Structures are given as C-alpha cells and as structure tokens.
C-alpha cells in the first residue's frame, strides 16, 4: 500500500527556530485513489512482475546505463558488446584513455560518442582513485555496492562523475533490487496529467514525491515504474493520448479536456 502522509501534519520549527521547507508529499498530498491507480496500472501492464535481479557486476550495468542515454536499445547493446570485446577488463579501457573508448563507440555506431566516452572513462578513473585499501591494482568493480545499505549505495553512485539521481536510481532498482523509483519522461507526463504532482515540478522533484508516497518495497516500485512507462508509451502518448481506451480515464482530470478539445502536447 502507498505510504500516505497526513495533510494535516504541522511543519514544526527546527531547534534553530527556522521552519523547514515542506517535503514534496506535504506540498502535494497523494490522492485517496492512488492505491486504485497503482492496482489498475499493474493489472493492465505488468500483472506478473519478474523476480528481483542482483547484478554480478554493477559496473557493467552502469556503463550500459550511460550508453543508453539518448540511444536505442539495439545501439546500446551493440556499443556495449564492442566495448567488452575490445576491453575484456575495464582497466584496459582506463589505460586506453577517452580517445580509445570514443573510437570503439564510433565504430559501433550511435551518437554522443565523445560525451559518453568521457563519462565512462571518468567513472573508471574515479573508481581507481577510491579503490578500497588492500585492493590497489585489483580489478575495477562496483560489486561492493551489493553489501551496502540503500543510502550508502546511492551515495557512492552519485559520487561518480556524470552519475546523478536518476542514473543511480535506475541502477539501484534494476541491477541491485533496491526500492528506488526512477522517474523518466513518460512517468512525469502521466503523473502530471493525473494531477498527482504540479505541472511545474521537474523529474527530480517528482522522484522525491514518489519516494515518499510509494511503499518502500522493490516489487511495488518496480511494478509502478515499468507499468507507468508502458502506459505512457501505449496509451498516455505525448501528442495524441488515447483517452478513450485508458484504464485510468475515470481517475484522470485531463481525460475530459483531451476528449472534448482534441489532443495537444501537454
């Protein structure tokens, strides 16, 4: 069940006398029908979620996540396969430098090769710097994430160059079976049209809202993430939402607007 904070709870001053800023869920309390909304999305798009997966090497998954940005799945797989064929160990990519990594990515196809090469090489360089004592010269790895708690794992990931909140959340949810809740454009659009969050919020604030209101368990968050993305891609389209077949139509304040006035780009 969602964790629904009380809309009546007062915001108490801190010991310094300052009143803290309200949390996202205090600014926009979740509606009473949120559990029904989650149930319908899951029933429609992901009735049988998979078993959680813990990656044998999260560093591989982080590199794939970097490659996936503004890329197709096919190109991501091709570029990653090319990197692994050229560099069986990530130390070889580090030694080859960003120019070498860029050349491999360009040969495999896809855009932003220089930017992604820099990100990947900088991550590897940073990991070499923070290698645990006693492991200098050992293989570059992020396997230690598997033994950290959620907060520690996120802190380490977000300390790496180019890894922000969303990338860390993706890795935590999909590759470490942690109850993170990454919010991408489809989820952000769906949440805005359902009036769950204010339209002015960006995806990072939306993620903090979902982190407050969703039950802190992997299955709930994985199911919502996947089903909401599928809903955004198949039904709640950016330009022509298919409100007439939407399973959330009676819960969505935007449905009447789109059905009466025709699709727009909200």
Q: Is residue 205 flagged as an active site residue?
A: no
Among the listed residues 84, 116, 166, 205, the single catalytic one is: 166
State the DSSP string of 10-47.
--PPPTTSPPPPPPHHHHSPPPTTHHHHHHHHHHHH-S
What does the CA dihedral 199, 200, 202, 204 come to, rounded to 10 degrees?
A: -90
| Long-range contacts of residues 242-251, Cβ cutoff 8 Å, at least 24 apart | 247/40, 247/41, 247/43, 247/44, 248/37, 248/40, 248/41, 248/194, 251/33, 251/36, 251/37, 251/40, 251/194
Query: Which DSSP letter does residue 161 get?
Result: T
**Euclidean distance between CA atoms 156 and 87, whole angstroms:** 24
**Euclidean distance between CA atoms 223 and 171, whole angstroms:** 16
Residue 26, burial from CB neighbour count under 10 angstroms (0-12, 13-18, 19+): middle
State the DSSP string of 64-123.
HHHHHTTS-HHHHHHHHHHHHHH-SSHHHHHHHHHHHHHHHHHHH--S-HHHHHHHHHHH
Which residues participate in catalysis according to the annotation?
A: 166
């Amino acid at each position: 069940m969602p964790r629904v904070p009380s809309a009546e709870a007062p915001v108490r001053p801190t010991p310094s006398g300052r009143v803290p800023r309200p949390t996202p869920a205090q600014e926009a309390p979740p509606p009473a029908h949120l559990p029904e909304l989650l149930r319908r999305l899951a029933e429609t798009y992901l009735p049988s979620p998979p078993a959680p997966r813990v990656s044998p090497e999260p560093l591989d998954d982080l590199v794939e996540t970097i490659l996936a940005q503004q890329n197709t799945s096919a190109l991501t797989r091709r570029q990653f396969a090319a990197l692994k064929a050229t560099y069986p160990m990530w130390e070889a990519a580090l030694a080859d430098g960003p120019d070498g990594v860029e050349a491999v990515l360009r040969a495999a196809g896809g855009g932003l090769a220089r930017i992604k090469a820099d990100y990947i090489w900088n991550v590897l360089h940073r990991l070499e710097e923070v290698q645990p004592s006693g492991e200098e010269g050992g293989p570059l790895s992020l396997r230690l994430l598997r033994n950290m708690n959620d907060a520690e794992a996120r802190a380490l990931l977000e300390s790496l160059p180019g890894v922000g909140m969303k990338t860390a959340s993706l890795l935590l949810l999909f590759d470490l079976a942690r109850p993170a809740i990454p919010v991408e454009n489809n989820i952000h659009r769906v949440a805005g049209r359902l009036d769950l969050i204010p339209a002015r919020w960006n995806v990072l604030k939306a993620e903090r809202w979902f982190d407050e209101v969703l039950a802190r368990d992997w299955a709930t968050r994985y199911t919502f993430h996947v089903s909401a993305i599928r809903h955004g891609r198949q039904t709640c389209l950016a330009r022509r939402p298919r409100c007439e077949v939407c399973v959330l139509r009676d819960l969505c304040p935007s449905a009447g607007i789109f059905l009466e006035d025709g699709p727009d780009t909200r």
